[in-house]
Amino acid sequence: GASEVIPEEFETSVEIFTRVLATFLVPRDVIVQFTEKVRADGYRMLRSVSIGDSPLADLKKYAPDLEISVFRVKPSSAVAGKSLAETDLRKLHGLSVLAIRRNSELLANPAGETCLAGGDVVIVLGAREKIASAAALFGAEEEKLGMNLRDETQTY
């Protein structure tokens, strides 16, 4: 019998990643070495990415009703062109702005006079229901954010 079950998704992820590496002209021996390491390590690299292993686990533990979410500001939205103080997100909507990603710059703990611009990625903290109701302010649905604030495609 099998000593360990490998989820099909892990092997599929490795195969997709090897194709991406090949597309970017990574040498074949480097790709083979990488895939062998991932497989020899029991796919631990893929298994370890979870909220239980992250600093956000503490947030979920101590403040289970709070979430961190990300919104992209649409140029036509209610908040575009306004300062954080003018939007009054905390008082009116119960949201705290943790950071703003503008192009390649991350503005951590932005001041009230910081203006929001179309295309900005706004990282907020708030109660689940407050976050859901605030989506319209930014002109779009809530986006997903991963552990790495440079990657806007993953979710907590």
What is the layout of strands, in order, in the sheet containing 66-72? 66-72, 121-127, 95-102, 105-108
> Looking at domain 56-138, what is its CATH homologous superfamily?
Regulator of K+ conductance, C-terminal domain (3.30.70.1450)
Taking the domains of the chain in order of start, what are their residue ranges? 8-47, 56-138
Instruction: Output the six-digit token pair for 75.
Output: 């140029």
**Distance (Å, whole) CA 47 – CA 62:** 24
Paired residues of 67 in beta bridges: 126
pLDDT at residue 34, rounded to an integer: 82
- 117: its two tokens: 């611009």
Instruction: Determine how many CB atoms are found less than 10 A away from the CB of residue 43.
Output: 18
pTM over 0.95: no
Per-residue pLDDT at 139 exceeds 80? yes
pLDDT at 51 > cutoff 60:
no
